[in-house]
Amino acid sequence: GAGVSQTPSNKVTEKGKYVELRCDPISGHTALYWYRQSLGQGPEFLIYFQGTGAADDSGLPNDRFFAVRPEGSVSTLKIQRTERGDSAVYLCASSLGGVHTEAFFGQGTRLTVV
Amino acid sequence: SQQGEEDPQALSIQEGENATMNCSYKTSINNLQWYRQNSGRGLVHLILIRSNEREKHSGRLRVTLDTSKKSSSLLITASRAADTASYFCATVSNSGNTPLVFGKGTRLSVIA
């Protein structure tokens, strides 16, 4: 596709469950970013991949959060033992080069933990 | 943590007027980017200005950067109702590989 694609667009899960959020970046983009956005706030950085490796995962809030990008393209953000405080819109972005280039964002996944 | 601070937090103007939003940041930057967001979902990249640039234009958008004051402004001229959205500034640090750090945004309402 032409843009960054995120699935699902909405996810409702029960507290304590495991969820996976998927991001398909723009073809050829080597850098991929995950952000989380709560209502009324700006996006908060979670993790950044350059190729297959996590170049910076300093934004992951705790060890319940994990992300992979095994082939350097699609990425999956995994959240274990979800909590109500994890409810937010999870945004994925990709860029052609590294952090110094323009990032293109997907439409996000709205996660609601009930 | 959020580095950029947009000002004002909310702005309401009449169609046809100009809208100015400001952003202040704390650390040395490689570049600063402005994004727009409708309805709390995907962010649309508007403009990127590098630390050695002072002003950039794109259509009805004008961005300035003052690295001595660690601030930037986004001007939207001749605003339209369709410009109603949240606008965020985001900075890329000069050190290492730190990705975009966003502010809390300015909520712009353009009244027809």
Selecting from B2, B30, B101 the residue whose C-beta is nearest the C-beta of A100 gives B30
pLDDT above 90: residue A101: no
Amino acid A1: pLDDT: 53
pLDDT above 80: residue B85: yes
CA distance B92 to B35: 13
What's the whole-number mean pLDDT along residues B8-32? 94
- Would you tell me which residues 16-45 of chain B have a C-beta closer than 8 angstroms to some C-beta of chain A? 30-31, 33, 35, 40-45
Task: List, for residues A28-75, the tens digit of each pLDDT value.
Answer: 999 999 999 998 899 999 999 999 999 999 999 999 999 999 999 999
Task: Show residues of chain A in contact with B45, CB under 8 Å.
Answer: 102-105
pLDDT band, very low/low/confident/very high, at B36 (cuts 50, 70, 90): very high
Selecting from B33, B41, B105 the residue whose C-beta is nearest the C-beta of A108 gives B41
pLDDT above 90: residue B93: no
Of A9-13, B13-17, B25-29, the least confident? B25-29
For β-strands A109-113 and A88-95, DSSP reports them as: antiparallel
pLDDT band, very low/low/confident/very high, at B39 (cuts 50, 70, 90): confident
Residue B82 in contact with partner chain A when CB distance is under 8 A: no
Amino acid B40: pLDDT: 66
CB contact under 8 A, A106 and B42: yes
Task: Show residues of chain B in contact with A98, CB under 8 Å.
Answer: 97
* Best residue of A7, A26, A37 to probe chain B, by most B CBs closer than 10 Å: A37
pLDDT band, very low/low/confident/very high, at B1 (cuts 50, 70, 90): very low
Selecting from A37, A56, A104 the residue whose C-beta is nearest the C-beta of B98 gives A56
**Cα separations in angstroms, A33 against A17, A29, A91, A96, B65:** 24, 11, 8, 12, 25
Task: Show residues of chain B in contact with A39, CB under 8 Å.
Answer: 40
**Rg of chain A (C-alpha set):** 13
Burial class (CB in 10 A: 0-12, 13-18, 19+), B78: exposed
What's the whole-number mean pLDDT along residues B93-111? 87
What's the whole-number mean pLDDT along residues B72-90? 96
What's the whole-number mean pLDDT along residues A76-92? 97
Q: What is the mean pLDDT of chain B?
A: 91
pLDDT above 80: residue B106: yes
What's the whole-number mean pLDDT along residues B64-79? 97
Neighbouring residues of A62: CB distance < 8 A, sequence distance ≥ 6: none
Task: Show residues of chain A in contact with B40, CB under 8 Å.
Answer: 37, 39, 89
A61 token code pair: 């809030």
